[in-house]
Amino acid sequence: MSVNELLTDRHLHTTYSDGKNSLEEMVQAAIARGMQQIAITDHMPLPFSDECAIPKDRLLEYREAVLAAKKTYARQIDILLGIELDYLPQHLDWVQEIVALGWDWVMGSVHFLSIGDTVDQPYIVDYAENVFREVLEKGAQGDIRKLCADYYANVQALVQTGWIDCLSHIDLVKKNNRNNQFFNQNESWYQEMVREVLYVVKSFDVMVELNTAGLVKPCAEQYPSEWIIKQCLSRGIPLVLNSDAHCTEEIGREFERFLTLLDITSPASGERRSRDLTLINFSSPTVGEGRSRDLTLINFPSPASGEGTSTRGEHHESKKSTGNT
């Protein structure tokens, strides 16, 4: 039994939002990689201008295309109709309308901040480093605690909507925190903010994503950080391993780092995981229970350094670089 036979990747982008490859290409690449299940989770349409979201007038087309692919490839792979939802406190009706369309899998993200007078064009938390500095100065008067507090308050509020299955890149605010240049995660004020979020995550029975995209970002580690993963495990919060791929090569990116020590040869864990895959009702805690047990076996090799393309900032940047190359 190979590791890949058990793999799922429930956070993938296509050209419907800011991905570089078409839906068809992403699905075929996932099949070629032996994925058993994927979720297509393009960025939801936004009520303000943003080049990385699904255009509002293409949302239904997106849904139909994913549902069609689900049918076409049903024998080869399980495809979930997903969406990467943004938390926009000033536009909750807009967000709710999208949720109400009905999805197999809803990832919840905070890419935008609510600090400053930015209703029509909110500050982005995960764009390039120079933009982050600008947001910090203009939005939070240089106070990193204020910026983090706003970010985590939004994450918490997102969970409390009850709209999401899984929280994406929970500590995305660290994306540009290369060598702790903005804050140190060991500081108690920061850890307290995260712990408060985890308390709410647990009580709302939401899963947390282990997103490998962070490995190639300035922060040079997965989202979330190891100490947060340990907190999730000790609280019984289910973790879902995702790549947040924006192109075919990124599907299942660096999953081996987190899977090598999983007990994949034991029939029990194999059975458990395949059972998980058939229980696509993600409100069932069973799915997560098995998974978080699996993840206790993970070790944490030191992450690769270096920078690559990017999630949202990720996607903003990748879009730009696409244009340049």
Residues in touch with Zn ion (CB under 5 A): 84, 109, 244, 311-312
Residue with tokens 């190891």: 226
Distance of CA 90 to CAs 93, 115, 236, Å?
9, 11, 32
**Which residue lies nearer to Zn ion by CB, 240 or 262?**
240
Residue in 26, 36, 28, 27 with CA at minimum distance from that of residue 1: 36
**Which residue lies nearer to Zn ion by CB, 282 or 290?**
282
> Which amino acid is residue 84, in one-letter code?
E
Which single residue brings its beta carbon nearest to Zn ion? 311
**Which residue lies nearer to Zn ion by CB, 222 or 311?**
311
**Which residue lies nearer to Zn ion by CB, 213 or 262?**
213
**Which residue lies nearer to Zn ion by CB, 83 or 262?**
83
Supply 5's token pair: 């036979």
Closest approach, Cβ 37 to Zn ion, in A, equals: 17
Closest approach, Cβ 75 to Zn ion, in A, equals: 27
Closest approach, Cβ 102 to Zn ion, in A, equals: 20
Supply 199's token pair: 């308390």
Residue in 82, 93, 89, 100 with CA at minimum distance from that of residue 41: 82
**Which residue lies nearer to Zn ion by CB, 77 or 167?**
167
**Which residue lies nearer to Zn ion by CB, 246 or 273?**
246
Closest approach, Cβ 26 to Zn ion, in A, equals: 13
Closest approach, Cβ 271 to Zn ion, in A, equals: 31
Beta bridge partners of 40: 12, 81
Biggest alpha carbon distance in the chain? 55
> Which amino acid is residue 79, in one-letter code?
I
Closest approach, Cβ 28 to Zn ion, in A, equals: 20
Residue in 221, 244, 228 with CA at minimum distance from that of residue 168: 244
Q: Strands 37-40 and 8-12: what pairing?
A: parallel
Closest approach, Cβ 126 to Zn ion, in A, equals: 7
| 166: helix, strand or coil | strand
**Which residue lies nearer to Zn ion by CB, 52 or 148?**
52
How far, in whole angstroms, is CA 271 from its chain's centroid? 26
Contact indicator for 95, 136 with CB cutoff of 8 Å:
no
Distance of CA 196 to CAs 95, 156, 186, 191, 256, Å?
24, 8, 15, 9, 31
Closest approach, Cβ 244 to Zn ion, in A, equals: 4
**Which residue lies nearer to Zn ion by CB, 40 or 229?**
40
Residue with tokens 């890949």: 4
Q: Cα dihedral sign for 297, 300, 304, 307? A: positive
Query: Around Cβ 71, how many Cβ atoms within 10 Å?
Result: 8
Rg (CA), the chain: 18
Closest approach, Cβ 114 to Zn ion, in A, equals: 17
